[in-house]
Structure 1
């Protein structure tokens, strides 16, 4: 079984958010890594001041993780949140990972359901076409709606201060137009039988990637003989991987990995 894990963050979250997961997995004998996206700096404060991610899209992000993985001794397990969950699926599809856990993953091509909360969460970026080639921050109020809606206001504000960063707008534009784009960057071969196992985690109160979107992804994978599982969490939002309840998702991910024959 692979004992290396690469954690992949999503939009508006710095890789430092994975530190509790890394400590937990390391305690179970895993080697862990959490590289940032192209243009991210080493700290939240530096990234807020000097992010260089303008114009970076799904392909560039995927390629950066593929390059990182190429430097490892063997293909790792990948764990991703939001757009990081989409990247994790692409790496699994490409045969660069032995297994993947995708937490509230951004929609891959083929998902047609568009809940109102998803559109509202994307509005700060998609409302201005020029944001496609810019780095876009969220305000604390926007973060509270998209990530912290299932949290007490004080906890949402603390998370915003500790892990929120500006992010490139391009991935959202690519995801929103994927079903009308040939060779869309968000495309994944959901019929592939030779890939490793995939676990999808969905949060029932998630505004940014509603549970219905994750369930739609699960249905797309139904025609594949490869292992695909889904777990849904009641009363949890898009922050579930990083808020006070992160341990439940991490423990479930570890238990699922222990059951796989990798």
Structure 2
């Protein structure tokens, strides 16, 4: 018999330059589907995007390892390992949590590359060069302008919509994760490493074919490594979609794809007694 009070937890993990408030529509949708939903911010995030913008120094020098541990501690207080859904660097962190055994399943949306991924398209280099070309930013935060946000993050949607997303959810982000990912293949113990060999739950990887920050080719390279794991691994590429695809006007298609995957992988919202 199904126990309606036993709901599977889902933890949403945002990436760089977007506040956890950007998951609002997903939280509502997954909650209505029966899941127990959470979207904790990164360490240093304030309760709102506006408050975070007013205190960017709280995010200085936050790295991949610290952020992953922050979410691992949050997960440890849940009644069971959750499904983790992450976007961009949140997608990398979600894969780290899946590989460590902290999560029962994972959806990685436009996930930043992990150690071992050698593909680095020119569009991706150009998108992060404003940060990586300034090594003194390594321990500081960096913020997009509305222009750079539309050019690199939200290039597949109209400028008006891009500006609205940026004004509503855009925040400064620590530069350290970009340097860590960029140098991961030269650092054997890089915090950008993911355990892709340990037995794990199912993983869905989602890419947009117009993404400039984490291009389709980068996600495919991650998928080629992850699919060697005995756990189920799937890849879906969305045409004419950019890096903003989980938060822009086409978000529902991405969310429904994630829900369908969880249902097909026997990760339903309600648990059996």
TM bin, normalised by shorter chain, reads: over 0.9
Aligned counterparts, 1:48-59, within 5 A = 48-51=53-56, 52-59=58-65
Contact 2:7-2:34 within 8 A present in 1 as well:
no
Q: Structure 2 residue aligned with 1:84, among 90, 94, 99?
A: 90
Contact 1:104-1:201 within 8 A present in 2 as well:
yes
Kindly report the root-mean-square deviation, in angstroms, between the aligned alpha carbons of the 2 structures: 1.0
Counterpart residue number, 2:75: 69
Q: Which 5+ residue runs of structure 1 have no aligned equivalent? A: none
Counterpart residue number, 2:270: none
Contact 1:9-1:82 within 8 A present in 2 as well:
yes
Alpha-carbon distance between aligned partners in 2 of 1:11 and 1:222, rounded to the nearest angstrom: 26
Q: Which 5+ residue runs of structure 2 have no aligned equivalent? A: 1-5, 268-273
Alpha-carbon distance between aligned partners in 2 of 1:21 and 1:81, rounded to the nearest angstrom: 12
Give SS of 2:224's match: helix
- After the TM superposition, which segments of 4 or more aligned residues of structure 1 sit over 2 Å from their partners? none
Higher RCO (CA-CA < 8 Å; seq separation 6+): 2
Deviation at 1:89, TM superposition (A): 0.1
Q: Structure 2 residue aligned with 1:212, among 210, 217, 239?
A: 217
Is residue 232 from structure 1 mapped to residue 237 from structure 2 by the alignment?
yes
Q: Structure 2 residue aligned with 1:144, among 146, 150, 159?
A: 150
Once the two structures are overlaid, the 10-residue window that deviates more, 121-130 or 12-21, is 121-130
Q: How many residues align?
A: 261
Contact 1:150-1:237 within 8 A present in 2 as well:
yes
Contact 2:100-2:195 within 8 A present in 1 as well:
no
Q: TM-score, normalised by structure 2?
A: 0.94
Q: TM-score, normalised by structure 1?
A: 0.98
Deviation at 1:2, TM superposition (A): 6.5
